[in-house]
Structure 1
């Protein structure tokens, strides 16, 4: 259905969610005269790292993903962040919806690792829309497909991501450790009466720093 188009108007943290979610405000327009009954909307949200510059600190943060700067022309390709979906209620002419983007702070996930490395500027996003449009017909509903070329670029301020993470994980981050390491840290914490695993790691780092200073 060539009469339908999409625009990304805004991306902001959802303030009342239990888990970290960004809400993308999507504007939808249909120039056809007949009303749209509903749209089963799908969206592939991608990150295009080559669309922005990087300072030296940010470049060091993404070296694990793209290698050193001299490799970036070959290694910095658009990559998938996630698939998002939403049901669009019926409308005539134009409407707006909220498209949820579910986020994680797990640094083993490529997108989270990339986003954590950025300190200022914008995150270069690309929204690829697809889905099914339902309109009224003589014998019920007529089904149309969203054209394959409906995509939009959006530069999301880096502060939006950091505000979302501070909202859900204030002054904290995530590390993945194997079970043996976790058990060893737990035993170390218990033997010394420490409050948590963070205190155990801090204690071990302090001991290592003291040995290095000798």
Structure 2
């Protein structure tokens, strides 16, 4: 059966995408080209290996909710699950390069989003590990179609430039952030907005903050 190897060779924000997406370029190699690959149903778990980079004071402050106080990071700094993705690799013999699209969320209730947002003001890279699984369909003896699983040991690392994440956020969420509320909380906030004649949600939240600071009447 084919012996496949995987390597991430690049990443970019696609020019035309309906949803926030990072596009990784994945190189797949077959050590046994005498057994051509017909296709691969590929899956990948992507982890953020947080311990493999340094963090400035601003990032440390923003990561307090994720890893706790920096003096505890020797115990708490750990890998984070980012997402699961999948794609179909077409037929090839020795090597092929395919696109691996990753849909991204800016929901701050997701731990990986909190981590990525904390790095937006920093430079450097985001250390990632891809853990691969799936099924290989290949041409065996006498041209017969054979099926085999991808071993769980197959993985690859990649250093995603922080600028890619910044570019993604700037394109899809310019100067904004998302906050999900329980319906009861939203209804109370909406009632407050109407009662005070506030035209936007930004002004509603600012009015509440000013009230909490004693600058306006609630």
- State whether TM-score is above 0.5: yes
For residues 154-173 of structure 1, the aligned pairs below 5 Å read: 154-173=158-177
Residues 38 and 91 in structure 2, CA contact (< 8 A), matched pair in contact too? yes
Q: Which runs of 5+ in 2 are unaligned?
A: none
Residues 128 and 151 in structure 1, CA contact (< 8 A), matched pair in contact too? yes
What is the match of residue 5 of structure 2? 5
Measured after TM superposition, the shift of residue 53 of structure 1 is: 0.3
CA distance in 2, matches of 1:133, 1:95: 14
Q: Deviations over 1:164-212 (max 9, x none)?
A: 1111111110112233332222122223332222221122223444539
CA distance in 2, matches of 1:23, 1:135: 26
Alignment match of 2:149 (pick from 145, 150, 168): 145
Alignment match of 2:186 (pick from 161, 182, 186): 182
CA distance in 1, matches of 2:148, 2:126: 32
Residues 11 and 22 in structure 1, CA contact (< 8 A), matched pair in contact too? yes
Runs (4+) of structure 1 moved beyond 6 Å? none
Q: Which runs of 5+ in 1 are unaligned?
A: none
- Mapped pair 1:90 → 2:91: yes
What is the match of residue 57 of structure 1? 58
How many equivalent pairs are there?
Answer: 212
Measured after TM superposition, the shift of residue 91 of structure 1 is: 0.9
Over the aligned positions, Cα root-mean-square deviation in angstroms equals 1.8
Residues 132 and 154 in structure 2, CA contact (< 8 A), matched pair in contact too? yes
Report the 3-state secondary structure (helix = DSSP H, G, I; strand = E; otherwise coil) of the residue aligned with 1:211.
Answer: coil
CA distance in 2, matches of 1:72, 1:105: 25
What is the match of residue 138 of structure 2? 135
TM-score (normalised: structure 1):
0.92
TM-score (normalised: structure 2):
0.90
CA distance in 2, matches of 1:66, 1:18: 33
Q: Deviations over 1:75-132 (max 9, x none)?
A: 1111211111100010121111111111100000000011001122211100111211
What is the match of residue 108 of structure 1? 109
